[in-house]
Amino acid sequence: MQKTADLIIKNIGMLVTPIGNQAKKGEEQGRPTVLYDAFIAVTDGIISEVGTKNELANVATDEKTEIIDAEGRLVTPGLVDAHTHLVFGGWRQKELAQKLRGVSYLEILRQGGGILSTVRSTRLASYEDLVKKAEGILNKMLRHGTTTCEAKSGYGLDTDSEIKQMKAVRELQLKRHPVDLVSTFLGAHAVPEEYKGNKKEYIKLVCEEMLPQVKEYKLAEFCDVFCEDSVFDLEESRAILEEGKKYGLVPKIHADEITPLGGAALAAEVQAISADHLIKTTDEGLEAMAQAGTIAVLLPATSFYLNESYARAKKMIELGVPVAVASDFNPGSSPNLSLQLPMNLACLKYRMTPEEVLTAVTLNAAAALNRSWFIGSIESEKQADIIMWDAPELDYIFYHYGINQVKTVIKKGKVVVSN
Ligand code: NIG
Ligand code: FE
């Protein structure tokens, strides 16, 4: 029996969406489905039908069906931000002057600033303040089109403060914030000051005290490591990710961001769902990822903000690595919460096509969070997370930039933003 729609979006000028339940790679990444003069029907928060104008008359409606007239605008799936550091105390605007004097990101960290400065503020912040601050940020993300967001711990670096961060994520989920959250444990984000010169002991704390509690309280789905020169080396990263697997956590890795340590090959070896950053990854590392099916989560706003080079996204696509693009929102290397700037940069700096980028921030990002079976595309039986843009077609949102181009956000079939 045909379901009665409770929402219909009609007069869609251009509907662009990848199709399917798995990450797209190679040429497929740049070939989303495009429909003109389209409509979407939603029932109980799930997409029930997608079609073109002439098929709309066949959709069952009643007096309660809400109709949204898109007036010829562009419609895409809701954006999925697959890499953020959402929960933290304080900000780091004081580092701007140091940066302008040419002090590098890793040098600031070695001097006890950077991540360690945010660790001090996060430890001092109350649980309630962390929740409130993250909620304010999520509200802004939602207005910019993000409908699902990953959130990493990693600014606590002691057991209680790490748990405090992950519980804040959980509370926002329980409060049913319209942005769905996905929790990642990143206890190995840096070596805290009290363990300086004693990294082994800190790794022991992560593996023997934090990981068991993450599992016991079901605080995260993924385990991430900052694999970087003077942070965690390959061997240490491997040990932590393998230990995380024993507790049911799927590996992710901050890999080859500033130094080509070989994090991409490690991601392939430990069967990580994604390797993130990859600015300095070698061809061998990328080939290993292609073989293993590891998703590349690229963070162009971080390259921009650290004045670094840009990851070789086109090479990755050519080699068959599925590419996702995320914001890396955090108070140090990427204080930008909108996915729209990374989308523009992915197009203009990586030279990805608008179609490739759209797949990167929807289906491929959903796959990097193990959620491509129910979000990341507009097709029947997927969750109705949908954006209507203040734009007539896809190219427009990549050509135009610097302002919020999202007009309406629909989450689980309900209008949650109208800008
Ligand atoms: O992904 N690179 C490591 N972690 C974050 C930055 C965290 C920070 O600077 O506070 C990143 O860029
Ligand atoms: Fe990060």
Residue 18 has pLDDT above 80, yes or no: yes
Nearest to 7 by CA among 47, 54, 55, 56: 47
DSSP string covering 166-228, please? HHHHHHHHHTT-SSEEEEEEEEETS--GGGTT-HHHHHHHIIIIIHHHHHHTT--SEEEEBB-
In tens, the pLDDT along 365-378 reads 999 999 999 999 99
Position 376 scores a pLDDT of 98
Q: Is 328 in the pocket of ligand 1 (CB under 6 A)?
A: yes
Taking each helix axis as running N to C, give the angle between helix 127-143 and helix 159-174, from 0 to 180 degrees, rounded to the nearest 10: 50
In tens, the pLDDT along 85-128 reads 999 999 999 999 999 999 999 999 999 999 999 999 999 999 99
- Mean pLDDT score of the chain: 97
Atom of ligand 1 nearest to the CA of 302: 12
Q: How confident is the model at residue 1 (pLDDT cuts 50, 70, 90)?
A: low
Ligand 1 centre to CA of 267 (Å) is 18
Atom of ligand 1 nearest to the CA of 92: 10
In tens, the pLDDT along 21-78 reads 999 999 999 999 999 999 999 999 999 999 999 999 999 999 999 999 999 999 999 9
Position 173 scores a pLDDT of 95
Q: How confident is the model at residue 139 (pLDDT cuts 50, 70, 90)?
A: very high
Q: Is 413 in the pocket of ligand 1 (CB under 6 A)?
A: no
Q: Choose the residue to mutate in 328, 329, 336, 337 for probing ligand 1, maximizing ligand atoms within 8 Å of C-beta.
A: 328
In tens, the pLDDT along 332-343 reads 999 999 999 999
- Nearest ligand to residue 303 Cα: 1
In tens, the pLDDT along 242-269 reads 999 999 999 999 999 999 999 999 999 9
Nearest to 210 by CA among 243, 177, 173: 243
Q: Is 150 in the pocket of ligand 1 (CB under 6 A)?
A: no
Ligand 1 centre to CA of 330 (Å) is 7
Position 176 scores a pLDDT of 87
Q: Kindly compute the dihedral angle of the four CA atoms of residues 290, 330, 78, 361, in this order, to the nearest 10 degrees.
A: -20
Q: Is 147 in the pocket of ligand 1 (CB under 6 A)?
A: no
Which DSSP symbol is given to 259? S
Ligand 1 centre to CA of 189 (Å) is 8
Instruction: Read off the pTM.
Output: 0.98
Q: Is 252 in the pocket of ligand 1 (CB under 6 A)?
A: no
In tens, the pLDDT along 187-243 reads 999 999 999 999 999 999 999 999 999 999 999 999 999 999 999 999 999 999 999
Please give the structure tokens belonging to residue 113: 């600033």
* 19 vs 106, more confident: 19
